[in-house]
Amino acid sequence: DAAHQLRTPIAAMRNLGEVALSRSRPADEYREALETMLGELDRLTRIVEQLLQLSRLDAGALKARFAPIPLGAVVEQVRQIYEPLAEARGVELAVAVAGGARVAGIEELLVELLGNLVDNALRHAPKGGTVRIDVAAAGGDVRLAVADSGPGIPAEFAQKIFERFTQMPGGEGGTAGLGLPLAAQIAAVHGGELQLANPGRPGARFECRLPAAA
């Protein structure tokens, strides 16, 4: 599965290069070909980064780096990263964070977890829709939720979407099916659990419960 996902953007870049070099072309056509190739290279890089991150998580050698992390700071980083994409898609990115919510973990992994959920939500939210990030305390846990105003996810895919390389029928192309599995594994490494809270209903809502830091 991994080889197949890596082969697709590599083949696309090769084909673009061969076509561009097959004859002399105006400068703007070369520029267009290079821009498209860079887009495929970004996709390839993202797949490789996700595979490497999954390998590190599989190795289970990260807990020694755990420290108390304020989730407000994590949410703010993700908001800054994805606000431009949300604006370009005409989607509102809303945030509500309970003050003082902290978990024991690794900040860059928590940013990766939340970023994958937001990226997934932005792919499904329609123009004029909303993606909402909520952080709230719940007993000894912290609940991190991301919801979108899209069509939702069929109940039969509620578990499959957390399996590596799973592609949703009719979904937006350009993904390797690694984002949600990676988010779920990061949640597990932090002693938590990620789930689809409303399968079969409009507006997918993903909820992640993590143990609160002392």
pLDDT, tens digit, 9 for 90 and up, residues 110-153:
998 999 999 999 999 999 999 999 999 877 899 999 999 999 99
The partner residues of 144 in beta bridges, in order of sequence, read 135, 208
Give the pairing of strands 92-97 and 130-138: parallel
pLDDT, tens digit, 9 for 90 and up, residues 61-114:
666 678 999 999 999 999 999 999 999 999 999 999 987 889 998 888 899 899
Give dist(CA 61, CA 27) in Å, integer: 49
Does the model's pTM come out above 0.85? no
pLDDT, tens digit, 9 for 90 and up, residues 188-211:
989 999 999 999 899 999 999 999
